[in-house]
Amino acid sequence: MFILLVLCAYNTFKMNNIRLTNILNNEVFSYSTILIKGFVNVNVNEVESNLILKHYSNHGKQLAESRWRVYKNRFKVIIELKIGENTLVFKFADEVLHTKLVYKQRVTNYTVCPVYVICADHDGRYQAPKDHDNSVQNACNKITLCSRLIQMLTAEKMYEKGFGKKTFQVEKECRIIKSSLTRRTVFKMHPEKLWEYIARELTAGKNSKHQKYLAFLSCTYWDGQNLHGHVALGGGGLALLGTGCLYTWPTKLEEVVPCFTNMTKVDTGTLFDDSCFRGNFGGCFSTTLGSVWHELGHTFDLGHSKYGIMGRGFDNVHLIFTLDNKNIAQEIKSASKGYVICVENYSNTFNMKDDVSNNNSTNANETTDEYDSKHICWSMGCASILSFHKWFNDCKEEHNNENTIEYVAKRNLLTSTNGLRVVQLRREDGLVMHSWEFVKNNNKRTFILPVQLANNGTTIIAEDSNGNILKHFL
């Protein structure tokens, strides 16, 4: 008996030499593509080596085997879970760790639909190097995969803020939509007008109140000097983006990390470079995936922030997946210390100001990635809005009443029978000037906007416990 106890203690100690920092054994996920972070508590002679991961189904069938870089004792893994139980076996040197994860898709009518928009006179092939597969199917594969990456990124950043791994649901297939617009018309249209037109085409004759669209224009074209058909706008039910750097995106899950670390220089004579001055394929992938994440955030009613995903932190999304701080984008500041929020053709410059928060909600989770947690994150106001948002919860139709929040202008008074959760004051350009969160208090029925702050913004945003949102122009 004594020997058995010693062996059990020894095995437990050995298992702890491989530690997972962002998942738990038997954890249930509502999304399939997940990021696993951890470290090995072993003396490693070399700076880096490999971790072996074997993935088994709930019937014991091996689904995959992969190798992942261990750098300074840390590792990051991206895998695709199957419905039901998934057994993962991590092996490093003589150390072995078994972990079971469960994938159970959340049932909801509120979804995000990936869309590939092809102009009436276009074949749908996006601009790419000569040896690159730029077919419609390849574009859809890239869009579908990266939609799932954004779904996972959102969950990870919500978890870091202490809200659990809440995220939105993505439809499985990328829809292909043939627009009535010609390429020449698209090239001449202002981005906002183009956004409005595509939004009307997507929602024509459809009940779209439960659906948001993440759409990409196939016809984006760089002629060596100017970019045509580019847009990066999000709001309401549509995030619309160009495909100028789609050639840098992965098609398969195993290509994700290599695409982020691809230091191939962009030939700007033939290809568009949206890398935030880094000039390489990996920088383009990081910036453009981040900008998609940013614009999709606007469809979830998020405003701009001075930092993080809804600021300019999205340029360095690659740091969430990689193990070092290489290829960090340059900080963009104007002479007046303004802040560039959007990308390329549609940009605004803001003066940075701190938003005021009661910050009474929750503590952030510990993480081993200090840089990306600090710079690539949600503000507390953003995370709080998403936490109660209809697209992030099991919303019941009887709670789908948009008139549950009222604003009395003469008294600067907000009231809600369901309880207020977030109140924000925003400028005309969408920058959040002040934010109040009441995450732990579901009895906050009234809120008075401080009179001294009323002139600081143009719009007041409020969200209740059921995810209903009021937007009132002051």
Q: What is the pLDDT of residues 161-197, one digit of tens each?
A: 999 999 999 999 999 999 999 999 999 999 999 999 9
In angstroms, the CA 404 to CA 201 distance is: 30
Q: How far is CA 37 from CA 15, 41, 80, 124, 346, in A?
A: 16, 14, 15, 37, 35
Instruction: Give the CA count within 13 Å in the CB-facing half-sphere of 33.
Output: 21
Distance (Å, rounded) from C-alpha 89 to C-alpha 78?
Answer: 14
User: Quick one: CA dihedral 41, 47, 48, 49, positive or negative?
Assistant: negative
Given CA atoms 111, 301, 292, 185 in this order, what sign does their dihedral have?
Answer: positive
In the chain, where the domains are located: 18-103, 111-321, 402-473
> Which residues in 74-164 belong to E strands, given as ranges?
74-80, 84-92, 95-103, 111-118
Residues in the chain: 474
> In the CATH scheme, what is the code of domain 402-473?
2.60.40
Residues 6+ apart with CB under 8 A from 63: 55, 56, 57, 82
Q: Please give the pLDDT value at position 468.
A: 94
Q: What is the pLDDT of residue 15?
A: 46
| pTM, 2 dp | 0.88
> Is 111-321 assigned to CATH 1.10.3470?
no
Listed in sequence order, the residues at least 6 apart from 61 whose beta carbon sits closer than 8 Å to its beta carbon are none
Burial status of residue 62 (CB atoms within 10 A of its CB: 0-12, 13-18, 19 or more): exposed
Q: How big is the CA angle at 317 (ends 316 and 321), to the nearest 5 degrees?
A: 120
Q: So what's the pLDDT on residue 399?
A: 54
Kindly state the DSSP code that residue 397 receives in the 8-state scheme: G
Distances (CA, A) of 451 to 95, 356, 446: 62, 15, 15
Residue segments in the chain with a per-residue pLDDT below the cut of 50:
1-15, 333-368
What's the Cα-to-Cα distance from 280 to each of 264, 272, 293, 461, rounded to whole Å? 5, 11, 20, 39
Q: For the structural domain made of 18-103, what CATH number should be given?
A: 2.60.40.1930
Please tell me the predicted confidence (pLDDT) of residue 339: 28
Residue 26 CA to residue 370 CA, distance in Å, equals 26
HSE-CB at 64 with a 13 A cutoff on CA atoms is: 14
What is the chain's mean pLDDT, rounded? 87
pLDDT tens sequence across 211-230? 999 999 999 999 999 999 99
Residue 146's nearest CA partner among 241, 58, 235 is: 241
In this prediction, residue 46 carries a pLDDT of 64
Same fold yes or no, 111-321 and 402-473 = no
